[in-house]
Amino acid sequence: MTTSVQVKTHLNYINGEWVSSLRNKVGAAINPANKNEIVGYVQCSTGEDVDRAVAAAKRAQKEWRRLSGAERGDYLYKIANSLERRLEEVAETMTREMGKTFPEAKGETMRGIAILRYYAGEGMRKVGDVIPATDSKALMFTTRVPLGVIGVISPWNFPVAIPIWKMAPALIYGNTVVMKPAQEAAVTAAKIMECMHEAGIPAGVVNMVTGAGSEVGTAIVNHSDVNGITFTGSNATGKQIGQAALARGAKYQLEMGGKNPVIITADADLDLAVEGTISGGLRSTGQKCTATSRVFVQAEIYDAFKEKLLEQVKEITIGNGMEGTSWMGPCASENQMKTVLSYIEKGKAEGARLIYGGERYTENGGENGFFVQPAIFEEVTNGMVIAQEEIFGPVLALIKVESIEEALTQANDVEYGLSASIYTKDIGTMMSFINDIEAGLVRINAETAGVELQAPFGGMKQSSSHSREQGQAAIEFFTAIKTVFVKA
């Protein structure tokens, strides 16, 4: 097990400098695999710290937007190189701070590097179109301008990838940023800022203020000089942010929960389906908005699928994510663990049959961490809470269906619409799934999780504010279009 990361007090990053919060108070970040281990200390900031960061971002924006896309891209390449040099350290910090296994944390950090390089390249791509004017002597075209200052509010479940997939496009299109990471992932976020600093990004272009969402997050959302807010997290918080932004006329983008289904048809490759269900539902301890949570299985193969699934889930090793033997780490916090355990209790109380796991895991030193065994329920009906609400934990609900139509109807019968997958060999079934499933991310013979950085990402229904992040879709949020008519 590597233990190279020093425990230190991380400061806010404002106007190119590392500064304490004006309140001068810090909070300890603890390891969810061992609550006695402190990973670092982070600032518990106030609205006044946000004011300073926003003022710095506003000042820096004029110069930053004047640079060419290629010049801004050069900074992103340098940030990517710095993150690459610190890959192991950042990944280890992530594992120790929020629990995901080291290989997953490393994979996520590499994804962050790839996102930075992708958007660095975007600085050289077209930003507008020439549109024929009705006047033959005129030239009409569109161009794009940055929004100004962007508030980035990010969650703890992807501490590197999510802040980067919000900040990199914001920056490349000429915006400046004030970032508030989840307090539970703020040490890892500070490492990203260190990479930005190392890359020599001009003072004020990127700023980070850590602290409670109810204080720091709210201050960003309500600040009149923050022109756009991009958020990933819970529906309750997302809706509040959307309403507050709308009330003062700021642009907003919300990525929220999921209750993602997988359908296993009678002709599915069962080994592949079991592998995808386990990986989609239980990797990262189920703490992905794209995690599989409802498993619709056709009656003909239900028993065979269940047997294989149970066989393999029993093999899952739980433990500290820094141990090479651990397949699944802890929940990210005590609160998250309690939420998951309470959903498991609700499932039992509502009459679903728990056929595997679902207890707090306390073996091999686990009593000091926030571990939960994977839980597999069957006899779940669509009206149950565990079939409707986002659990964000390692819980799978098996639902037996007679037909693909029944599976589709039930799969759509939730308020969310983020991702969905089907395992089938039949092209007709694939086509009806693509057409009829209500989800922004549709996957065939592949797990529900797994977002490609170059493709649009976002959900339908209550899963998002109906916008898309990542890939070239990001330009829609981070810029405004100007239509220009030139008459010589």
Ligand X SMILES: O=C(O)CCC(=O)C(=O)O
Ligand Y SMILES: NC(=O)C1=CN([C@@H]2O[C@H](COP(=O)(O)OP(=O)(O)OC[C@H]3O[C@@H](n4cnc5c(N)ncnc54)[C@H](OP(=O)(O)O)[C@@H]3O)[C@@H](O)[C@H]2O)C=CC1
Residues lying near ligand X in the complex (CB under 6 A) are found at: 157-158, 162, 232, 288-290, 449-451
Distance of alpha carbon 319 from alpha carbon 30, whole angstroms: 16
Partner interacting with residue 337 (select from ligand X, ligand Y, none; CB below 5-8 Å by kind): none
List phi, psi (to 5°) of 90.
Answer: -65, -45
Distance of alpha carbon 458 from alpha carbon 463, whole angstroms: 7
Partner interacting with residue 163 (select from ligand X, ligand Y, none; CB below 5-8 Å by kind): none
Beta strands (DSSP E) in 11-56 are 12-14, 17-19, 26-31, 34-43
Partner interacting with residue 449 (select from ligand X, ligand Y, none; CB below 5-8 Å by kind): ligand X
Residues 320-349 that bind ligand Y (CB under 6 A): 336, 339
Contacts of 428 (CB under 8 A, 6+ apart): none
Distance of alpha carbon 417 from alpha carbon 333, whole angstroms: 26
Question: Which of 257, 319, 357, 417 is the binder for ligand Y (CB under 6 A)?
Answer: 257
Q: Exposed e or buried b for every residue in 405-422, given b needs 16+ CB within 10 A?
A: ebbbebbbebebbbbbbb
**Contact between 214 and ligand Y per CB under 6 A:** yes
**Contact between 177 and ligand Y per CB under 6 A:** no
**Contact between 256 and ligand Y per CB under 6 A:** yes
Q: How far is the CB of 409 from ligand X (least distance, A)?
A: 25
Between 146 and 217, name the residue whose CB sits nearer to ligand Y. 217
71 burial level (CB within 10 Å; 0-12, 13-18, 19+): exposed
Among the listed residues 209, 204, 157, the one whose alpha carbon sits nearest the alpha carbon of residue 49: 209
**Contact between 280 and ligand Y per CB under 6 A:** no
Amino acid at 274: V
Determine the straight-line distance between the first and last CA of the chain, rounded to whole angstroms: 69
Residues 362-421 that bind ligand Y (CB under 6 A): 390, 392
**Contact between 441 and ligand Y per CB under 6 A:** no
Distance of alpha carbon 420 from alpha carbon 188, whole angstroms: 30
**Contact between 49 and ligand Y per CB under 6 A:** no
Q: How far is the CB of 349 from ligand X (least distance, A)?
A: 28
Partner interacting with residue 234 (select from ligand X, ligand Y, none; CB below 5-8 Å by kind): ligand Y
Between 72 and 166, name the residue whose CB sits nearer to ligand X. 166
Residues 16-45 that bind ligand Y (CB under 6 A): none
Angle between helices 161-172 and 69-85 (to 10 degrees): 160
* Active centre residues (catalytic): 255
Piece of 72-80, 123-131, 150-158, 364-372 that binds ligand Y (CB under 6 A): 150-158
Among the listed residues 301, 308, 65, the one whose alpha carbon sits nearest the alpha carbon of residue 202: 65
Partner interacting with residue 213 (select from ligand Y, ligand X, none; CB below 5-8 Å by kind): ligand Y
443 burial level (CB within 10 Å; 0-12, 13-18, 19+): buried
The whole-angstrom distance between residue 75's C-alpha and the CA centroid of its chain comes to 24
Partner interacting with residue 302 (select from ligand X, ligand Y, none; CB below 5-8 Å by kind): none
The whole-angstrom distance between residue 241's C-alpha and the CA centroid of its chain comes to 17
Distance of alpha carbon 361 from alpha carbon 369, whole angstroms: 9
Work out whether strand 176-180 and strand 206-208 pair parallel, antiparallel, or are unpaired: parallel
Question: Which of 38, 67, 87, 212 is the binder for ligand Y (CB under 6 A)?
Answer: 212
Partner interacting with residue 31 (select from ligand X, ligand Y, none; CB below 5-8 Å by kind): none
**Contact between 464 and ligand Y per CB under 6 A:** no
Between 254 and 337, name the residue whose CB sits nearer to ligand X. 254
Between 234 and 472, name the residue whose CB sits nearer to ligand X. 234
The whole-angstrom distance between residue 464's C-alpha and the CA centroid of its chain comes to 12
Partner interacting with residue 221 (select from ligand Y, ligand X, none; CB below 5-8 Å by kind): ligand Y
CB atoms within 10 A of CB 129: 11
**Contact between 15 and ligand Y per CB under 6 A:** no
**Residues contacting ligand Y: total by CB under 6 A:** 28
Between 421 and 429, name the residue whose CB sits nearer to ligand X. 421
Q: How far is the CB of 447 from ligand X (least distance, A)?
A: 9
Residues 181-210 that bind ligand Y (CB under 6 A): 182-183
Asked if 39 contacts 97 with a C-beta cutoff of 8 angstroms, the reply is yes
The footprint of ligand Y (CB under 6 A) covers 153-157, 180, 182-183, 212-214, 217-218, 221, 232-234, 237, 240-241, 255-257, 289, 336, 339, 390, 392
